[in-house]
Amino acid sequence: MKGKNAKYISVNTKIILLNRIKREKADGFIKKGVFSDEIVWGTNSYIVPKMDKEKQKAFKNGMFLFGMVRKDVRDYIAKNKDIKLPKSYPQIE
C-alpha cells in the first residue's frame, strides 16, 4: 500500500492494538510473513517481528557483517576501475 506509515511494534503492543481494533469495530487486516507480521489499519502499518530477542540480536549482527562486506566490495571496486558489473540481473520466477 502506497503512503502508509510503517511502525515497528512488540508482540505485547500487537495484542493491545488488535484489542483496540476489535473494540472499535474497525476494518484492518493482518499479513503474516515468515519473519514478521504486518497489521494494516487505516493509513498505518504496524510490523511485528516473529523472532525472539536473541534471534533479533543475531540477525542484526549478521546485517552489520553484511554492511562491512558491502563496504569492502565498494572500496575494492573503486580502486580497481577495470571491473565490469552487470547493470541488471536475470529474474528468478
57-64 average pLDDT score: 73
d(CA 10, CA 6): 13
Is residue 57 helix, strand or coil?
helix
Which amino acid, one-letter code, is at 42?
A: G
The pLDDT score that the predictor gives to residue 27 is 92
Confidence of residue 4 (pLDDT cuts 50, 70, 90): low
d(CA 13, CA 11): 5
- The answer to whether residue 88 scores a pLDDT higher than 90 is no
pLDDT, averaged across the chain: 83
14-33 average pLDDT score: 92
d(CA 73, CA 75): 5
Confidence of residue 45 (pLDDT cuts 50, 70, 90): very high
The pLDDT score that the predictor gives to residue 90 is 80
A 10 A CB-CB count for 59 gives 13
